[in-house]
Amino acid sequence: MAAASRRKVVEGSEREPLAAARPIGPVARDERFEVTVRVRRRAPAAGLAERGLLGENLPAARRYVTRAEYARSHGADPADVAKIEAFAREHGLAVVGASAPRCSVFLSGTAAQFEAAFGTRIEHYESRGRTYRGRSGPITVPEEIADLVEGVFGIDDRPAAQPHFQRRPEPAGNVRAVPRNGAFTPPQLAKLYGFPPDADGSGECIGIVELGGGYRAADIHAYFESIGLPTPRVTTVRVDSATNHPTNAQSADGEVMLDIEVAAGVAPAAHIAVYFAPNTDKGFLDAITYAIHDAENKPSVISISWGNAEKDWTRQAMASFDGEFQAAAALWVTVCCAAGDAGSGDENPDGGAEPDGLAHADFPGSSPHVLCCGGTRLTTHGGKIASEKVWNEDPQRSATGGGVSDVFPLPSYQRAAGVPASANPGKHRGRGVPDVAGVADPQTGYRVRVDGEEGVIGGTSAVAPLWAGLIALCNQKVGAPAGFIHPLIYGSHGGKSVFRDITEGGNGAYRAKAGWDACTGWGSPDGAKLLKLLQTGGTRSQAAATSEAAGE
């Protein structure tokens, strides 16, 4: 590749410094780090829908594919991967790995080498007392490979996402007790929401993506013993050298333990695979691609409780993440994402950009290929649900996310759902979120154990693993993965007939109403009705099941 090759901008790679950030000096020329280059698919994303793999068909017509089949048809072309590897070596970069199924090439090098290879300047920035390695402006590559490169991740290592959980201060208590002050254990919620009582998640794997924190095996054992369930099988999967690193109950450990305890609390026999990755756009993307294409653990459902407002992401990141969620849909892996905990504005003070007073959907929940999970406040009487409304203690700091995407257009499955025009100037109609909901208010939250301390945690972070657990139970009962369920729940046999409709409350710019709304989607789960809906379809083909079991 000639040194004087003309260069082209990688579409969507433009990046600005964090709010109030100031450059404090260039990165040392010999500082080493790793970068992920996203390579185009062998077949474009649109081809997946055209071939009927995204589930825009009735269950009886589903065609299940194995991960190996997907890689052969839709992974990166080895010839394209080889071209990226050659480009890297010409710039002195080391190729530390490549994955055609994950459409990724992993590179290692110095700051000077990455600056030359990708036409950018790398500096250290300080923002709000924290420093990060960053860049501004676009990334460029030689035009000979420009059509192959969908994104470049890892040059900038600012935090990519925030965990969507909130603690409720409360004296320690016995988590076996009946709901005290409105808080619940996961099995109690499973019973209230009518989850299949004769299923335990056997044979299913739930993947959980974490960008920090950790768990202690002793805490998991103590928690499940206290609620009368067997200790679940939990596996740590390290991504980009991240580790299971528990510290204290006030850290991201709260997110990790909440996710594990909720998912396994409703599906105790399911295998829980926790994918730990650094909290960067590279780490987040690498964890997602690893989990979706994990041929060893083979999760049938993935829970993601981390996110940020769409405005805080680059377009290359959103496009690459959504591309992987399309891959998950093709593989019939359900991805459950939290809707956010700061109302319709989604203005997390640690999220990045300065508040602008506009409405924002939270990403990755706003991807049209994930099941976005909003939040409610739940009260009970006599062991039954007495009332349920939109979670909104504070529309700016403690309320369910939800709204209309500024990035993703209205998907076909939502055309008849009544998605409103955006509350922002311009009044466009985009992807509406959330799709579904569940209890999230920390005042009516989940009893958990974190680093030896017992308490109550809420937030839409809890709703994603709750739904992941329910999907695992349904997968077990149906004998096939539910996968991309949107066409079913938005179709004529879903929607109002399957969910507990939430019609009271709002999240700031949007209000609940009968049917789908931009606060709680279709509503909270009725497990028995969802299972019945999923049982109306076909089952995985014997050929696909045999191939998957053989690891082909």
Q: Which two tokens stand for residue 511?
A: 């209000």
CB contact set of 365 (below 8 Å; sequence gap of 6+): 307, 337, 338, 339, 340, 372, 373, 401, 433, 434
Taking 50 as the pLDDT cut, the residues of the chain under it are 1-3, 45-56, 58-60, 175-179, 537-552
Q: What one-character DSSP code corresponds to residue 517?
A: B
Nearest to 433 by CA among 468, 394, 406, 471: 406
Pairing between β-strand 234-238 and β-strand 271-276 as defined by DSSP bridges: parallel
**What are 198's two structure tokens?**
């004769």
- Answer yes or no: do 251 and 359 share one domain: yes
Does residue 45 form part of some domain? no
Distances (CA, A) of 101 to 89, 108, 335, 503: 22, 20, 18, 43
Tokens of 54: 């995204």
Shared domain check, 422 and 281: yes
Of 204, 210, 253, 255, which is the active-site residue?
A: 255
**Residue 98 and residue 228 in one domain:** no
Number of domains in the chain: 2
Backbone angles phi, psi at 135, to 5 degrees: -145, 165
Q: What are phi and psi of 501, to 5 degrees?
A: -65, 130
- Distance of alpha carbon 84 from alpha carbon 475, whole angstroms: 39
> Quick one: 134 and 193 in the same domain?
no
The answer to whether position 60 is within a domain reads no
User: CA 415 to CA 419: how far, in whole Å?
Assistant: 8
Question: From its phi and psi, is residue 505 left (phi > 0), alpha (psi between -120 and 50) or beta?
Answer: left
Read off the tokens for 292. 């979706």
Q: What is the DSSP string of 422-483?
A: PSSTT---EEEE-SEEEE--GGG-EEEEETTEEEEEESHHHHHHHHHHHHHHHHHHHTS---
Mean pLDDT of the chain: 90
User: pLDDT digits over 11-37, tens only?
Assistant: 999 999 988 899 999 999 999 999 999
Residues 344 and 221 in one domain: yes
DSSP string across 480-511: S---S-HHHHSSTTSGGGTEE---S-B-SS-B
What one-character DSSP code corresponds to residue 232?
P
The angle at the Cα of 109, spanning 105 to 112, to the nearest 5 degrees, equals 125
Active-site annotation holder among 123, 150, 259, 322: 259
Domain-located, residue 552: no
Active site residue 552: no
Same domain for 147 and 207, yes or no, is no
**Phi then psi dihedrals of residue 105, to 5 deg:** -120, 130
pLDDT tens-digit map of 500-521: 999 999 999 999 999 999 999 9
Residue finishing a domain among 153, 179, 198: 153
Smallest CA-to-CA distance from 320 within 26, 34, 40 is with: 40
Note whether 234 and 88 are same-domain residues. Answer: no
Q: What is the full DSSP assignment across 263-311?
A: HHHHSTTSEEEEEE--SSHHHHHHHHHHHHT-TTT--SEEEE-EEEEGG
Domain that holds residue 92: 7-40+76-153
Write out the E strands in 101-233.
104-110, 122-127, 130-135, 140-142, 149-153, 162-163, 166-168, 205-210
255 is catalytic: yes
Output the pLDDT for position 232.
98
**Domain final residue pick, 115, 134, 153:** 153
H/E stretch holding 46: helix 45-50
Reported as a single tens digit per residue, the pLDDT across 465-498 is 999 999 999 999 999 899 999 988 998 666 778 9
Active site residue 461: yes
Q: In CATH, what number is assigned to the domain containing residue 425?
A: 3.40.50.200
pLDDT of residue 347: 84
Residues 332 and 245 occupy one common structural domain: yes
138 within a domain of the structure (yes/no): yes
Q: Which residues of 174-202 are buried (b: 16+ CB within 10 A; e: fewer)?
A: ebeeebeebbbbbebbbbbbbbbeebbbe
CB count, 10 Å around CB of 370? Answer: 27
Q: Enter the DSSP assignment of 363.
A: E
Burial of residue 301 (CB within 10 Å: 0-12, 13-18, 19+) is: buried
Q: Which of 153, 187, 222 is the last residue of a domain?
A: 153
Q: Are residues 214 and 345 in the same domain?
A: yes
Non-local CB neighbours of 140 within 8 Å, separated by 6+ positions: 7, 8, 9, 10, 118, 119, 120
Q: Which of 322, 461, 517, 524 is flagged as catalytic?
A: 461
Question: CA–CA separation, 348 vs 283, rounded Å?
Answer: 20
End-to-end CA separation in angstroms for the chain: 36
Are 199 and 134 within one domain? no
Q: How far is CA 467 from the centre of its chain?
A: 12
CB atoms within 10 A of CB 386: 9
Task: Mark whether 148 and 215 lie in a shared domain.
Answer: no
For residue 312, give both structure tokens: 């805080």
**Six-digit token string for 197:** 């009582």
Is 222 a member of any domain? yes
Looking at the structure, tell me whether residues 399 and 518 fall in a common domain: yes
- Domain for residue 64, yes or no? no
Whether 496 is in a domain gets the answer yes
Q: For residue 354, give the DSSP letter.
A: P
In a domain, 68, yes or no: no
